[in-house]
Each structure stands twice: as structure tokens, then as C-alpha cells.
Amino acid sequence: MKQVTVSAPSNIALIKYMGKIEGSGNKPTNGSLSYTLENLRTFVRLTEIEGGADQWKPFVREDLQKIELSEKGQQRFIRHLQNLKDKWGVKKSFLIESANNFPSDCGLASSASSFAALTLAAAEMFQQINPQPWGADKKYLSELSRQGSGSSCRSLFTPWALWQHEYAEPMGLEFKDLHHMVVIVEDSKKEVSSSEAHKLVTTSPRFEGRPERAEMRLKDLSNAMRFNDWHLARQIVWDEFIDMHRLFETSTPSFSYMTDGSKKVLEDCQNLWNKWQDGPLVTMDAGANVHLLFRNDQKKQFEQYREHFKKDFKVLAFEGVKDNVH
Ligand code: PMV
């Protein structure tokens, strides 16, 4: 029986994918830019089985955290595998096992890393069964992954990934080996899924002009990074996540992921920035937690922020050095 085990990282967008073209297989209404989170990974083991339907089970391995997928989540994963099987013309049946190397109860989404890992595992397996000329083309695999979960297409490239239309591609930017911190202010499951958020934001009056605003920031942020302008980069990244959260708050019906905890963390970040006139890039996803990215030379601040937020919140912190978790 053939078996492959593959892992893929999560990513955090600095320019957000929010809003998709209806019925397009997750094509975005604007380009997005992300930093790959090498330390937050999903592991997928794919095993060929004798006939019957494809199945999903949690991947049980000592070093991994067991995940429970809802029936809907399992079906979405299995559907993605079916789509990949169709592309490769593979008829066999498979058992998918998946797990994360980070706790699933901390409100960190794993759809990007999960779908990227499943796409890569399937590509490795199917290239053995029915090799295709495009089967190892990362851009094409990114396009396939996008059809399962939009943001997952960026997880195939590191450290920076730019996604504009069909697939993501690597982007060469100045800053590398960033220190990453997540201040966990809320660890329960979010009430509005990102799939629902993508639909709801189009009802906001602020959605008009949103693709243009995001595209403009994408250009400005790339330039700021190219010119090593961290201060400007921080301002653009801040404006961008606030813009996305305003869309949520002005949708019909309106919704919000910001909690008092998030607001407190953002306020502290602002105060610490004002005090030191330097600090991390700050961003939030469709959730309450706050992500911080520090330059590699900001190790001391990284430790100071960790000590600061540890007093009130759970903090996940990863040093920006090449790790051996792959
Ligand atoms: O890939 P999805 O459908 O889970 O969308 C994720 C969207 C955000 O995480 C909110 C932003 C982004 O660009 O990753």
C-alpha cells in the first residue's frame, strides 16, 4: 500500500484576501501578500486503501496535536481530494490523516496549512500513480490548492507569497527570518467562518472601493519593504487589517471578531510603539487574536513584548531562525 506523509506551513496575510469572485473556485477580488509561518504546520498522511469511499481520520503521532474535524470540515477536505484525483485521473481510494503541530484550541485557523498539506501530499502520491507533466509545478499546485481554500495557495511559498489571480508566487522582499508572536485573546471557535465573512463583506457600503484600497496598499507595502522602510510598512499593515475589520462591522448583518482583549492588545502595541518609536508589524485575521511580526534584529523587543503580554494572555512565540520542524 502506498503511503506519503507531508507537512505544510500556515501563513499570515499582511494585505488581506477578503472577498471572492462568486463561483470562481476562490479567485480573490484583490491581490494579497503573506508571510509564511514555518513553525505552524499541518501534517497529512495519505494512504492508499482497498476500494470504498475516501475517509478522513485524525493523524495520531506523539509530536502532533490531535484535531477533530466537524463532519462538514471532513467533507470539504474529502471533496478537495476528489478534485485532485480528478485532475490526475486517479481512481483509487485513500485514507487522509491530518494533525497540526500547534494546539487546535487556541483560535488559530489551520485551513491554509491543511489544504496546502493535502494538495502536496496528493501531488506526491499521484505523481507515483499517474505522473503528469505539471504535477511538480509549484504554481499549478498553488492554483489547485486555492480551489480547496483560497489562503492555502500562499502556503506553498516562503517566506513571502504574493497571490493575485490564479495562484500565488514567491516574492523577494528585504525582511526575512521574522520573529512571530500570537497573542491569544480568544481560544474558542469563531462564530462567523471566513467563508461566510467573504460573502457578508460584499454587503458593506465600504466594499465599494475595497479592492482598489487593498491593491494600493499592496503596491505601497511592497515599495516600503523594498526601501527598508519598516515604519511605513507597519502603518500600511495596520490600516489594512483595520479596513478589513471595518468591513465586518458594516456588513448586513454586521459582525465582529474584535473583543475587549483584542482592543487592549492593540492599544498596548500602539503605546509601546509610541514609547520606543519602533516595534512589530501588527495584524489580525478573521479572528480575535493579534499577530505580531518582529524584524530579526528586534529580538530584545520580541522578548519584552512576550513578557508584557504573558501577564494577561496566552502567548505563542517563535524565534525567526531556521527551525527543524519540517
Ligand atoms: O482562505 P479562507 O477562505 O479561509 O480566507 C482567509 C481570509 C483571511 O484569513 C481573513 C485573510 C487572508 O488573506 O488570509
pLDDT in tens, 142-158: 999 999 999 999 999 99
The Å distance, Cα 161 to ligand 1 centre, comes to 14
What would the pLDDT profile of 93-115 be if each residue is shown by its tens digit?
999 999 999 887 677 878 999 99
Specify the pLDDT at position 187.
Answer: 77
- Name beta bridge partners: 314: 184
Does the beta carbon of 17 lie inside 6 Å of ligand 1?
A: yes
The answer on pLDDT for 298 being more than 50 is yes
DSSP of 166-221, one letter per residue?
SSEEE---S--S-EEEEEES--SPPSS-HHHHHHHGGGSGGGTTHHHHHHHHHHHH
The answer on pLDDT for 284 being more than 80 is yes
Does the beta carbon of 150 lie inside 6 Å of ligand 1?
A: yes
For residue 140, give every residue at least 6 positions away whose Cβ sits within 8 Å of its Cβ, in sequence order, or none: 134, 167
Specify the pLDDT at position 324.
Answer: 41
Q: What is the mean pLDDT of residues 80-87?
A: 98
Ligand 1 atom index nearest CA of 195: 3
Does the beta carbon of 285 lie inside 6 Å of ligand 1?
A: yes
The Å distance, Cα 130 to ligand 1 centre, comes to 32
The answer on pLDDT for 239 being more than 90 is yes
The Å distance, Cα 116 to ligand 1 centre, comes to 13
The Å distance, Cα 91 to ligand 1 centre, comes to 31
pTM of the model: 0.96
Q: Give residue 98's identity as a one-letter amino acid code.
A: S
Share the mean pLDDT of the chain: 95
Specify the pLDDT at position 174.
Answer: 87
Where is average pLDDT lowest: 74-78, 191-195, 250-254? 191-195
Specify the pLDDT at position 322.
Answer: 58
Does the beta carbon of 149 lie inside 6 Å of ligand 1?
A: yes
Ligand 1 atom index nearest CA of 149: 1
CB contact at 8 A, 293 and 160:
no
The answer on pLDDT for 127 being more than 90 is yes
Does the beta carbon of 20 lie inside 6 Å of ligand 1?
A: no
Does the beta carbon of 30 lie inside 6 Å of ligand 1?
A: no
Give start and end residues of each alpha helix (H) in the chain: 71-88, 111-129, 138-148, 194-200, 210-226, 230-249, 260-276, 299-310
| Structure confidence at residue 251 as a pLDDT band (50, 70, 90) | very high
| Helix, strand, coil tally for the chain in percent (to 5) | 45, 25, 35
The Å distance, Cα 12 to ligand 1 centre, comes to 9
What would the pLDDT profile of 191-205 be if each residue is shown by its tens digit?
899 999 999 999 999
* Distance from C-alpha of 182 to C-alpha of 290, rounded to nearest angstrom: 6
Does the beta carbon of 147 lie inside 6 Å of ligand 1?
A: no
What is the set of domains in the chain, with CATH numbers? 3-170 (3.30.230.10), 182-318 (3.30.70.890)
